[in-house]
Amino acid sequence: MFTTIRRLLNQLFSKSRKINNEPLNKVSLIVIILIDIFILVNVFIGLNDISQWHLSPGQSYPCYSEWQNYRTQNNKDKNYEIIRQGLSGYQNNQYGFQKIYQEQKQGRLGKISPICLDYAGSKDKIRSSEKQQIIRTIDNKQEQINRLQQSNNNIRSQYDSTLLEKIAGQPREQSINQIGAEKARQTLDQNNRQISTITKEITQLKDQLLTKPESIDFLTVLKNENQFNQVEAGYKQAAFWYPTIQLSFQSLFLIPLIFLALLVHNFAQNRGYGLIALISWHLLVVFFIPLILKVFEFLQIGVIFEFLSNLIGSLLGGLLFLISYVYILVVPLVGFVIIKFFQRVVFNPKVQAVNRVQKMRCISCAKTIRHNDIYCPHCGYDQYRECHHCHELTYKGLAYCKHCGTLQEPI
């Protein structure tokens, strides 16, 4: 297996550095490399664009994340917080959440969950100038509370020293503190009463906001377990298949390029167009690199990984690191099978030798030669071997001697 891989790599690098079996000069090699880099960058840009052609799970179910966060929160003000979130940016965004969700669908495949669209519609209904004013009033009152609390913190930091000064009998005019102990106590009490009053006002404003009919309808949607379960199931299914969909679109982008480069390369090689054959060969390699990377990426996050993780999780509990062992054992085996397939079927030396002899081409480099040439004038390869029966020269790679018809032993 390693001999085969080494031979394939040697052929790969040899074909990438030669035109008509002649080495490239340094300037030409640099130009080819720059072309490869430019095309590779654009291939990855194209792959990124086409992979986003289909809506992602988060775009197909745009309400799932927010809905899920609401359900997992234990904060007593979570109803107010999600209403506030729906009102945020109201002045700067007049389109509404439903329209924003629908705009994501334009020019792309997939569909947006109808439940999420209804969710967005309910969320849009709570958006009004009146509710926005209530939010601003709450924010202003919260700022007042913060200022009063900061004032209390400053007073408390000085209270202990002023109390000690009073116990020691130090005159007030010699104190380094701004207010005396009695005044500090009075100010703290006064501030705390104001904080309590403002807090009650904030609570009343929040209740006023939450008891609006639109807010009640929106919260009713949020608390609908059946609808959320449908959204959650749809989101998980979409997340399960999304890597496969991405790989399919990326393959749809790359495979035509690979076949086109292969056709041009074979045509140029058969016609003897060395430079075109070299450039098309480089393109073929450049197109294969992203495809291989995307396949390996899919193996790490796609359906196969999900299947293996579920299988190992059910059989061996939480020992998910065993998936790495499975990949380490399976991937080389799959690579061995692929190499054997291409060696025996696609690039079978015997099949290639038959075709090249019929077309009067070199068995090694496929360049055109004359019928009686023993050695290829392009690469120097010996075209013949001695028959073990009649000892006449017959073609290498062909099964039978052209003189006596004896089956030849494999080389």
Contacts of 243 (CB under 8 A, 6+ apart): 298, 301, 302, 303
303 CB-contact burial (10 Å; exposed 0-12 / middle 13-18 / buried 19+): middle
Q: At what angle do helices 26-51 and 225-271 cross, to 10 degrees?
A: 150
Residue indicated by tokens 């130090």:
170
Q: Residue 320 above 60 pLDDT?
A: no
The model's pLDDT over 184-241, given as tens digits with 9 standing for 90+, comes to 678 888 888 998 999 999 989 988 888 888 888 988 988 888 999 999 999 988 888 8
Q: Distance (Å, rounded) from C-alpha 132 to C-alpha 84?
A: 9
Q: Residue 169 above 50 pLDDT?
A: no
CA torsion through residues 48, 54, 57, 63, sign? positive
pLDDT at 233: 92
Q: Residue 375 above 50 pLDDT?
A: yes
Over the chain, what is the mean pLDDT?
78
Q: Which residue has the higher pLDDT, 363 or 142?
A: 142
Q: Which of 38-47, 72-81, 317-326, 351-360 has the lowest mean pLDDT?
A: 317-326
Label residue 1 by pLDDT band (50, 70, 90): very low
Q: Calculate the dihedral angle through the C-alpha atoms of 398, 402, 406, 409, rounding to the nearest 10 degrees.
A: -30
CA 327 vs CA 18, 141, 245, 307: distances in Å: 36, 60, 22, 13
pLDDT at 140: 92
Q: Which residue has the higher pLDDT, 342 or 251?
A: 251
pLDDT at 173: 47
For the chain, what percent of residues have pLDDT higher than 90? Answer: 6
The DSSP code for 344 is I
Structure tokens at 396: 């290498």
The answer to whether 270 touches 23, Cβ cutoff 8 Å, is no
Closest CA to 54 of 112, 106, 109: 109
Distance of CA 134 to the CA centre of its chain: 41
Label residue 170 by pLDDT band (50, 70, 90): very low
pLDDT at 168: 45
CA 64 vs CA 51, 58, 78, 221, 224: distances in Å: 22, 7, 16, 13, 13
Q: Which of 64-73, 167-176, 349-358 has the lowest mean pLDDT?
A: 167-176
Label residue 178 by pLDDT band (50, 70, 90): very low
Structure tokens at 49: 């664009």
Q: Distance (Å, rounded) from C-alpha 177 to C-alpha 227?
A: 61
Q: Distance (Å, rounded) from C-alpha 247 to C-alpha 51?
A: 8
Residue 112 phi/psi, 5-degree rounding, is: -95, 140
Label residue 336 by pLDDT band (50, 70, 90): low
pLDDT at 24: 59
The residues pairing with 368 across neighbouring beta strands, listed in sequence order, are: 361
The answer to whether 124 touches 116, Cβ cutoff 8 Å, is no
Closest CA to 234 of 389, 116, 130, 373: 116
Mean pLDDT of 45-71: 88
Identify residue 288 by its one-letter amino acid code: F
Q: Which of 50-59, 72-81, 175-184, 269-278 has the lowest mean pLDDT?
A: 175-184
Q: Which residue has the higher pLDDT, 300 or 281?
A: 281
The answer to whether 138 touches 205, Cβ cutoff 8 Å, is yes
Q: Which residue has the higher pLDDT, 380 or 318?
A: 380
Distance of CA 32 to the CA centre of its chain: 30
This prediction has a pTM of 0.61
Cβ count within 10 A of residue 256: 11
CA atoms within 13 A on the CB side of 295: 13
Of 176-180, 316-320, 377-381, highest mean pLDDT: 377-381
Q: Which residue has the higher pLDDT, 272 or 322?
A: 272
